[in-house]
Structure 1
Amino acid sequence: MSLSRPFLLAAALVCTAFAACALPPAATTAAQDALNRGQADQALHILNDNLQQNPSDALALNLRCRVYYAEERWDEAISDCGQAVRLSPQDSNFHLWLGRAYGEKASRVNFVSAYKIARLTRAEFESAASLDPHNGEALSDLGQFYVEAPQVLGGGTAKAQGVAQQLQAYAPLRAHELQGRIAEQKKDYATAEQEFRTRISLAAHVSPTEASQAWMDLGSFYRRRSQWDQMEAALVSGAAAAIDHGPALADGASTLIESNRRPDLAAQWMQQYLDGKALSEDAPAFVILAKLGDLYRSQGNATRAANAYAEAQSLASGYAGAQQNTKKAQSGR
């Protein structure tokens, strides 16, 4: 039986008034799938349609925040994630994503503004971890914040150590990763390397996906230490483990690009990721396409660069990086 338009309008008004209706399961799946595939415009279309009918749908707001986050539209991400938190203040993941959006914003503003926003970042991560002490992602992000932030912002390795101990009981892979970052922050590089390698050993018994990411993180550690041969060996091991051609490949490619080494291998891994079936919002396809375009442009291949930029913009017209790079490609710079 089809529903009349007046009935649908009345239902939408009830949903808005009581915030009792959420994104329909099929729409939730479609929006999340589009986000995972890097189809930001498609995801926004689905979510905008839903939010027009029910502006108080916290799940839809959180998903739209994550699309904006992927597009590096930090102010819009903060706005939507903040609204989701206000509507569902007990949801750990909503606080986590608001903290992430604040964190990215803080890294792109002046010192005075960054100080204020960093405090908000810490507060959201702490809320996320407090609301769900078994939320491994929230604890990992909080621990990383403590590692990187100065004491004046509430950071410190002692606090990070407490988080690592919390993780050890039920998420040992994350615990060893955090322990590695703590040791690295203390300049105890031998211990840091051992922690990253212990994580690899454990990950090998969990899944190829976990193992490949653990190898890539070890490679990133070596990059920060300027240990280039060890870096490349770790990244190659990570690529070999990435039988799903998942986000770890894109991560490894980014490490190669940041170190100005093996552009051929970086391009190969990015293309394998884009051609695979394990696309994820962790490595948005349009961002990887833009990086691939940058790589082609640096090699003097203007045509392939322009094609990559155009494809990125077709997936995410609001992604500033694709727009800027398209202009560069058109101007020949």
Structure 2
Amino acid sequence: MTKRVPGFGGLVRRAVSAMGTGLLTLALAALAPAQASHSGLAEANSALQAGQADKALALLQALPSGEAGSAQAHNLRCRVLFTMEQWDAAVRECQQAVTLDDQNSMNHLWLGRALGELADKASFVSAYGLAKRARAEFERATELDPRNPEALADLGEFYSSAPGVVGGGTDKAATIASRLDHVDPARAHELRAAIAQENHDSGTAEREFRLAITASAHPAFQWMRLASFYRKNKQWSQMESAVQSGVAAAQRDHHAGVALFNGASVLIKANRDPEFAQKLLQTYLASNNTEEAPAFVAHVWMARLKARQGDTAGAREERTAALALANGYKPAQDLKF
């Protein structure tokens, strides 16, 4: 049987979900020069962070031709399309950003992520080439900025989970973990946990996840990663305890609102405590949202939860809210009640 890159798109989502505010900080830093002088780009980015995908795309469309064709605009458009899971279009926009600004580490990183998601949905023949391209973009991102923690983390997760035929290998991942030790120790521990999981060493994986919590400045995210680990191992009581610890950490950290979204995701996938999952999503939606956890995705999850509880009217309201933010988001379009 042919073998696809195992969970490649998933590794991108896992990396994004564990980033805290680091990704947002770097992304904004990459755009800062343009945004300082171009309010249109700044407004589009603000809409993206708020989960207003349609508004962000409209603002980008309305930019003067010089700005609309800039690397910054193409990167922003790529990220909007990424949140909407429109992978082909996202790849095209990210490629344009790279073509226009080949020396920007974040441009290469986002192209790698979009290619990774596209590979995850492709046939084996297509996925093979896409995965190799993604690896090359992650590697280029780390070459351009050797201290970019997001690029190092994504490259390390690629190496840890992808087969050798497309350039993966846990030995390569271990090398990246050593580099992360000097840049972001929490992510270094998370990567070592991923390597241990690939080696079917649950004990080491759990220990590394706990070390990541200790090392992190925003431990709510790492608690949710540990909860996800417990979910995959069907350790339900430990999972629920880790989610609670993550929520408590998020309540003490105004930068960690996305962790509530992640905790809800863990509970929903485990089919546990839907009422609490719904409460976490409501709290997240009432806080400062970011592109890491788009508001319209939270509304879709809320719709599914309400539908399971027999609240059809509430589910329809959530679907309407999602489509009002991102009319082209297919999971929202496909909801039937």
Fold shared, TM-score > 0.5 on shorter chain: yes
1:196 and 1:131 map into 2 onto residues whose CA distance is 29
1:223 maps to a residue whose letter is: R
1:78 maps to 2:86: no
2:298 and 2:133 map into 1 onto residues whose CA distance is 29
Deviates more, 1:243-252 or 1:158-167: 243-252
Which of these residues, 293, 306, 315, is aligned with residue 283 of structure 1?
293
Deviation at 1:241, TM superposition (A): 1.0
1:157 and 1:139 map into 2 onto residues whose CA distance is 14
Aligned to 1:292: 302
Aligned to 1:13: none
1:249 maps to 2:257: no
Structure 1 segment 1-333 matched on structure 2, within 5 A: 22=34, 24-50=37-63, 52-203=65-216, 206=217, 210-243=218-251, 244=254, 246-276=257-287, 278-325=288-335, 328-329=336-337
1:216 maps to a residue whose letter is: M
Contact 2:49–2:294 (8 Å) recurs in 1: yes
Aligned to 2:23: none
Give the gaps of 5 or more residues in structure 2.
Answer: 1-32
2:103 and 2:183 map into 1 onto residues whose CA distance is 22
Cα deviation code 1:122-173 (max 9, x no counterpart): 1111111111100000000000001110011100100000000001012111
Cα deviation code 1:88-115 (max 9, x no counterpart): 0110000000000011111112111111
2:104 maps to a residue whose letter is: D
Deviation at 1:247, TM superposition (A): 0.6
SS in 1 for 2:121: coil
2:296 maps to a residue whose letter is: F
Contact 1:22–1:60 (8 Å) recurs in 2: no
1:236 and 1:112 map into 2 onto residues whose CA distance is 43
- RMSD value over aligned CA atoms? 1.4
Contact 2:306–2:312 (8 Å) recurs in 1: yes
Deviates more, 1:215-224 or 1:244-253: 244-253
Deviation at 1:51, TM superposition (A): 6.0
Contact 2:83–2:291 (8 Å) recurs in 1: yes
2:267 and 2:65 map into 1 onto residues whose CA distance is 43
Contact 1:22–1:57 (8 Å) recurs in 2: no
2:232 maps to a residue whose letter is: R
1:164 and 1:32 map into 2 onto residues whose CA distance is 31
Task: Extract structure 1 runs of 4+ deviating beyond 4 A.
Answer: none
1:77 and 1:59 map into 2 onto residues whose CA distance is 14
TM-score, reference length from structure 2 = 0.87
2:54 maps to a residue whose letter is: D
Identity of aligned residues (%): 47
Contact 2:67–2:73 (8 Å) recurs in 1: no
1:271 and 1:155 map into 2 onto residues whose CA distance is 39
- Larger RCO of the pair (alpha carbons < 8 Å, separation 6+): 2
Contact 1:22–1:58 (8 Å) recurs in 2: no
Contact 1:212–1:239 (8 Å) recurs in 2: yes
1:196 and 1:226 map into 2 onto residues whose CA distance is 16
2:71 and 2:272 map into 1 onto residues whose CA distance is 43
Larger Rg: 1
Cα deviation code 1:184-215 (max 9, x no counterpart): 11111111111110111122xx2xxx111010
TM-score, reference length from structure 1 = 0.88
Give the gaps of 5 or more residues in structure 1.
Answer: 1-20
2:38 and 2:235 map into 1 onto residues whose CA distance is 48
Deviation at 1:269, TM superposition (A): 0.2
1:75 maps to a residue whose letter is: D
Contact 2:264–2:277 (8 Å) recurs in 1: yes
2:192 and 2:42 map into 1 onto residues whose CA distance is 35
Count of equivalent residues:
301
SS in 1 for 2:334: helix
